[in-house]
Structure 1
Amino acid sequence: MQRILFFISLFAISHLSYSQNSLSGTIKATDDHAPLEGVSVYFPKLEKGGVTDANGIFYIKNIPLGNYQIVASYIGFQTISKSIVIDKGDNKLNFDLAPSAIEMDEVIVSTPFHKLQRDNVMKVEHVKVAQLKAAGNMTLAQGITDIPGVSSVSTGMGIGKPVIRGLSSNRVLVYTQGVRLENQQFGDEHGLGLSDAGIESVEVIKGPASLLYGSDAMGGVLYLNPEKFALSNTTKGDINLDYYSNTDGLSGNVGFKTSLDKFKFLVRASGDSHVDYKTGDNDRVTNSRFGEYDIKTGIGYQTTDLKSEIRYNYNKSVLGIPDSIGEQTTRRSPDLPFQPIENHILSSKTNIFFENSSLEATLGYTFNNRKELEDSKDEPALHMNLATFSYNLQYHMSKWGRWETIAAIQGMHQNNKNYGEELLIPDATTNDIGAMATSHLHLSEKNDLQFGLRYDHRGISAGPNGEIGSENYISELNRNFNSFNAAAGYKIDITQKLLARINLATGFRAPNLAELTSNGVHEGTNRFEIGNPDLTNERNLQTDISLEYKNQHIEWYINGFYNKINDYIYLQPNGDNVENTPVYVYNQQNANLYGGELGFHLHPHPLDWLHWESNFQTVMGKLTDGDYLPLIPANNISNTLRVEFDNRDKSLESCYAFATFHTTFAQRHVGNFETKSNGYNLLNIGLGGSLDIYKQPIDIHLSGNNLLNTTYISHLSRLKSDGIPNIGRNINLGVSIPL
């Protein structure tokens, strides 16, 4: 691998070009032909762009030769995407943008061809983190539950893990900074290990993404887009502060970024501190307190034919592990048991551009240090280190007619080490390698086809642990797993306003170390778990169908899926007990999941400031023997009334207000060691705006979640078995000050 990287670097240096290819143009409104200031003009593939000045003029330089998509976007206007050929020297392109009350289309980064949402063959959800924060969400794990089809398995407020259409844990892959995040995803007692500070947006692939990402993406991908660098020859900074009444929570971050013609730099530091949360009964849940400290930084270099960036993220979380409503206190330091968890993420991405083709190399190193302190704050009972090196080499082939093709080699090398007395999984080494090719065929202006194939190999080796014949003995493990996968999708614009998508994709997941090797009591579950070293790959085939309609007044969508999983791995009691603890064993059986999402958005013209949004989501999961799958989210529906005003000529530049009524239905279809859950209703209200005070812009948002202080227990709460409710009323006040 080092030799490959050396030749890539050597090739990059030898291929640098000093030609100054540029693009300029003017952007105007279609209705009055007035120039538009502040329009973003962006090359998604190059991650390079500019902004129009007061005369509507933009200028972007140092662009490589070739054929590229360019996107022009502006709030209140329809986003436009065009294909353009960059020739040597100065290039010209003008845009006319039409006013629109519809939300801006976003460029999808998690799929390989970087197209707008409406042009993408796969249905991918996209939401900005600023939008999640404005809704009063305390953490990123809580915020993603606002995305239809996405839920979270939670342990209080500090610990949450994503669930996509009923699948979670190692079946959902998290990507950040363009690399896979590996932090013992099989465990229940820790969360994402990421702060929302320095993350610009979230994309969700709801379904098998093994073609693009390999094992562990059979249920979907949570793709976190990092904060962009500043535009060339600009410098920016900002301070953001939030207060949460329920947990006396304090959250803040400060960022700075600057860019020259070629060099770019950014840094952001953040911190959060929360006391025990209060339920709807105004009882504090003992030891649910948590804190988080995070720093993200990056440096970039870009010329005409070369773009390279290195990013680093350090995150430390201190998580109390709650299990009762006991002592009522507002202390911030955790009681025993608690977990201090550290994550280091180092990533590098380099693009070399040729005429109509490019080479991309993404390298990642993640290091997860997980401890659990049970009886002493000095000696951890559980101490695990997980080091992962990952690589992704992609060649974007020359565009041939209507074809675009990408070929890639991806993989990782991973080591797990134990240093504490307790052992959840043994010391082990995992090696992955996969090869993939995918193509996009633009059949016509209304028809697009995308398909691909992939092969993966995973090897897992672990030495024996403990004494032969002892209760917690784990035998030696050497397993290899192989898989072929395919995906195909078709998008058609049935009319100018109605489009349809159909996608078929296979996925797979190799069993994780806990499923293969467990032999002991699993912390926090009151179960003695016994792994099965003979487990095979989980394999699935999912069909997705979606319809979307948009006009001047109304938007609606219907998404449906059917997911057939062969050899689904699950826990089942075998009737035995070890020291009065029930024994559960890992088994395999075929399973089926099906459901979907419905959405509706009304924005009646000329009342473009008025919005009514509604969405409904449902999922059902069953084993072939008739038992229901565990951790399946309950059906729910949300209705939101939102108003937005834009007053650019006044001190109050823009403002909004919303009211959301969220209904979660009872969950009666439960796994064999779950209990049923009751339904509940939550009312959330918020408002915010951008103020201009003495020429200093300030963004303010105020929101109230669960305003009626409802006492409820989510079906996906791990505190449900103890009868502990979720969070009660919470008021959030946030201020953002650009510098």
Structure 2
Amino acid sequence: MKNYLCLLAVLFLYATASSQNSLTGNITSKNTNDPISATVYIPQLEKGTVADFDGNYTINNIPDGNYNVVFSSLGYASVSRKLSFTNRETVTENLQLQESAVEMEEVIISTPFHKLQSDNVMKVERVSTDELRASGAVTLAEGINTIAGVNIISTGTGIGKPVIRGLSSNRVLTYAQGVRLENQQFGDEHGLGINEAGIESVEVIKGPASLLYGSDALGGVLYLNPEKFALTGETQADLSSSYFSNTLGTSTNLGIKTSGEKLKFLARGAYASFSDYKSGAAYRVTNSRFNEKDFKAGVQYSGIAFKSTLRYNYNRSNIGIPEEIGVQSRSKDLELPFQEIDNHILSIENTLFFNNSSLDVKAGYLFNDRREFEDEPDVAALRLKLNTFNYDLKYHLPQLGNFETIVGVQGMFQNNKNEGEEILIPDAKTTDVGVLATSHYHLEKVDLQAGVRLDTRKINSEAAGSPMDQDYIEALDKSFTSFTAALGAKMDLVEKFSVRINLASGFRAPNLAELTSEGVHEGTNRYERGNSSLTNEQNFQADLALEYRNEHIEFFANGFYNAVNNYIYLAPTNEIIDNTAVYNYLQDNAALYGGEFGFHLHPHPLDWLHLESSFETVTGKLDDNGYLPLSPANSVRNTFRVEFADGNARKASSAFITLENTFDQNNVSIFETRTAGYSLVSAGVESSFTLNKILLKVGLNGTNLTNKQYVSHLSRFKLDNILNMGRSINVNLKVEI
């Protein structure tokens, strides 16, 4: 204990004795030399400012070290500069930004070196939640369905599970507030459990990310970036509300944030309520209604050599479980059966800045309380309590020439407890430990990145039930170990044309349900039998990404081949127990391949005109030539969009129309049926106005405007031939002060 206190004292003395640096300069247009009121931001410090009307800016209290500084403004190409700060110096960086029709680039947070996408070795998809909301998405899960290569397994409108290039469930890891989200994601009918309010953007890593995140990142990562704190000296408040005609739903959230020189604070609350959704055939899907409460808060202290951020999120979701088309109702009161889920996320991130290096220490506590009510509204037939503690330590070594290196250790302690009559998975404890090292090497036209990692996972479960019963679950004591590696390169072969090549391995330890299940899973109408002899899933993916962009057009082509050894899947048997078909967990080698291709036309000088098109395809097969279940169908998305420049009172306006063509899905597993293709039309308009210091945003959009009757191949209602949502007209209002 004495040693610990001495260490804290040394760190405190170091922080108070460290020097203070400043960054100042002027930003102008390269084309006209006019000043630009651009944003200047240091991602690692989460510190920034906006240049004044003369283009001048200043940022104070910068610790010693080397930092990427990003300069960005709408209508100009973003620029990242690596700047060094030492010995109380004032660094002057004058910059000229080049006009560009390309959307403003943001820093990618989900990869370790926090670079702009154009400088990143890995291709990462990034989209803001404002864009998802403008598209008419009811929930965050539904919104990510618009990203090329990303789909969702849906249970009506209330539940959506992300699918990345054909892989889902425990093969896709979700991060929120910088920590891994754990909420019993093994279940098909278990959604994200997080509200889009207070989420600024979504980043998607498509492919093995075990090097960075360990087990369960075999298929990719969904990284949810929380909203930033206000810039120094600013106080902001906003109120937004949306109405969805199809579900008679409303969603409202209120936020406030304020920042001083060192201390920052924010808070946001949200409430949403929806009735049963109406299909294209005009019937409502009984008990597909749901409601959600969400609260987020954060506080940050940023000193000379120390930064600490504490965030908290509480989410309560009440979700109806449809069983059949019954009484038609517009009520929002839940009927039996329904789920009631509480999610708590408490995270803290500390960064210590040394002369030429830094130490990041993250920790998170998550509590998931999942209750399912079947016969009585006050007595949970199923109740699972999941307590998870995550930690993540990364040391950014002093930069050696063009080498940036990070070493780290990550881990998790998890406890699962049953408190209901039904038992899906037994009481169990899970422990993860992983160590990693990764380096980035930068040359003028080539960036290289490589890394290695070693992980171990230990699962101990208790016996459940009586040894005399058919659904008895034996105790389990298993350990899983894996070594993973990744190597990637980004090359600017010729001007405006870049190539990314990434080779990566990943792994996933079998989850508790796959190892121990023995009983009826009511949510999926299956009797599931686990397999305690399952081993690690291990995969290797090769990814090639080509990108060309100039002032008129952007083109991209991403192809991948993903070989998965010991792929775990559910297979039906001829056995019937309790009038329910029995499914066994089995393993076989599998392969997935496909990609995303598209272009974005924005002819100069018609910068307000945009034509976007993308095509995505994925095929998954087992070694016995059978197709993998729940593989998304091929699709094409075409969007025509216009954006108008700032006016006096009208700050900005935009309009879009999108046609999405989903093809027939004929590549189905032996216990699936084929799904017919369909075409959906959506459109919308949005404008923002300034009244003194108040910003008003008004949006109107519509989804499935032709009221198409269709069933998605990834809908869990497909077996019952229940259609997806029909036409919906949606209104969005937002006020910012």
Shift of 1:233: 1.4
Q: Say if 2:86 is the partner of 1:69.
A: no
2:670 alignment partner AA = N
Q: How does 1:526-605 map to 2 (within 5 A)?
A: 526-605=525-604
1:64 alignment partner AA = P
Q: How far apart in 2 are the matches of 1:10 and 1:407?
A: 25
Shift of 1:697: 2.0
Q: How far apart in 2 are the matches of 1:421 and 1:200?
A: 40
2:352 alignment partner AA = I
1:574 alignment partner AA = T
Report the equivalent of 2:328: 328
2:506 alignment partner AA = G
Q: Say if 2:354 is the partner of 1:368.
A: no
C-alpha spacing 1:8/1:609, structure 2 compared with 1 (3 Å): farther
Q: Which runs of 5+ in 2 are unaligned?
A: none
Report the equivalent of 1:707: 705
Shift of 1:693: 3.8
Contact 1:344 1:366 in 2 (8 A): yes
C-alpha spacing 1:671/1:605, structure 2 compared with 1 (3 Å): same
Shift of 1:522: 1.2
Report the equivalent of 1:135: 135
Q: Say if 2:256 is the partner of 1:256.
A: yes
C-alpha spacing 1:46/1:693, structure 2 compared with 1 (3 Å): closer
Structure-2-length-normalised TM-score = 0.98
1:328-381 Cα distance to aligned partner (Å, 9 max, x none): 111111100000100000000000001110001000000000000000001110
C-alpha spacing 1:695/1:84, structure 2 compared with 1 (3 Å): closer
Q: How far apart in 1 are the matches of 2:300 and 2:13?
A: 19
Report the equivalent of 2:654: 656
Report the equivalent of 2:420: 420
Shift of 1:282: 1.2
Q: How far apart in 2 are the matches of 1:566 and 1:301?
A: 46
1:146 aligned counterpart, secondary structure: coil
Aligned counterpart in structure 2 of residue 687 of structure 1, from 664, 685, 688: 685
Report the equivalent of 1:453: 452
2:512 alignment partner AA = L
Q: How far apart in 1 are the matches of 2:228 and 2:7?
A: 25
2:144 aligned counterpart, secondary structure: helix
Q: How does 1:478-517 map to 2 (within 5 A)?
A: 478-517=477-516
Shift of 1:551: 0.4
Q: How far apart in 1 are the matches of 2:585 and 2:231?
A: 52
1:510 alignment partner AA = A
Q: How far apart in 1 are the matches of 2:142 and 2:439?
A: 35
Report the equivalent of 1:32: 32
C-alpha spacing 1:692/1:435, structure 2 compared with 1 (3 Å): same
Tell me which moved more, 666-675 or 493-502: 666-675
Report the equivalent of 2:246: 246
1:125-154 Cα distance to aligned partner (Å, 9 max, x none): 011111110111110000001111000000
1:15 aligned counterpart, secondary structure: helix
Q: How far apart in 2 are the matches of 1:693 and 1:51?
A: 20
Shift of 1:694: 5.6
Report the equivalent of 1:668: 666
2:113 aligned counterpart, secondary structure: coil
Q: How far apart in 1 are the matches of 2:472 and 2:3?
A: 41
Q: How far apart in 2 are the matches of 1:323 and 1:509?
A: 33
Q: How far apart in 2 are the matches of 1:3 and 1:19?
A: 28
Report the equivalent of 1:338: 338
Q: How does 1:227-306 map to 2 (within 5 A)?
A: 227-306=227-306
Q: How far apart in 2 are the matches of 1:674 and 1:458?
A: 33
Instruction: Give the share of equivalent positions with the same residue, in percent.
Output: 55
Shift of 1:695: 5.3
1:552-610 Cα distance to aligned partner (Å, 9 max, x none): 10100000000000000011123222133221111110000000000110011111111
Contact 1:78 1:97 in 2 (8 A): yes
1:319 aligned counterpart, secondary structure: strand
Report the equivalent of 2:186: 186
2:167 aligned counterpart, secondary structure: coil
1:194 aligned counterpart, secondary structure: coil
2:432 alignment partner AA = D
Report the equivalent of 1:733: 731
Contact 1:12 1:306 in 2 (8 A): no
1:692-718 Cα distance to aligned partner (Å, 9 max, x none): 246532011110110000011000000
Shift of 1:318: 0.3
Structure-1-length-normalised TM-score = 0.98
2:193 alignment partner AA = G
Q: Say if 2:177 is the partner of 1:177.
A: yes
Shift of 1:14: 2.9
2:706 alignment partner AA = L
Contact 1:680 1:712 in 2 (8 A): yes
Aligned residue pairs: how many?
735
**Runs (4+) off by over 4 Å:** 2-11
2:726 alignment partner AA = G
Report the equivalent of 1:525: 524
Q: Say if 2:360 is the partner of 1:355.
A: no
Shift of 1:724: 0.4
1:187-239 Cα distance to aligned partner (Å, 9 max, x none): 12221000000000000000000000000000000000001111111111100
Shift of 1:630: 0.5
1:425-449 Cα distance to aligned partner (Å, 9 max, x none): 000000000000000011x210011
Contact 1:216 1:510 in 2 (8 A): yes
Report the equivalent of 1:168: 168
C-alpha spacing 1:279/1:3, structure 2 compared with 1 (3 Å): farther
C-alpha spacing 1:674/1:9, structure 2 compared with 1 (3 Å): farther
Shift of 1:465: 1.0
Shift of 1:12: 3.2
Shift of 1:326: 1.4
Q: How far apart in 1 are the matches of 2:60 and 2:514?
A: 53
Report the equivalent of 1:311: 311
Q: How far apart in 2 are the matches of 1:238 and 1:583?
A: 51
1:77-108 Cα distance to aligned partner (Å, 9 max, x none): 01111111113222211110111101111110
Shift of 1:175: 0.1
Contact 1:160 1:192 in 2 (8 A): yes
Report the equivalent of 1:434: 434
Contact 1:189 1:321 in 2 (8 A): no
Q: Which runs of 5+ in 1 are unaligned?
A: none
C-alpha spacing 1:266/1:694, structure 2 compared with 1 (3 Å): closer
Q: How far apart in 2 are the matches of 1:150 and 1:714?
A: 14
Shift of 1:8: 6.7
Contact 2:447 2:491 in 1 (8 A): yes
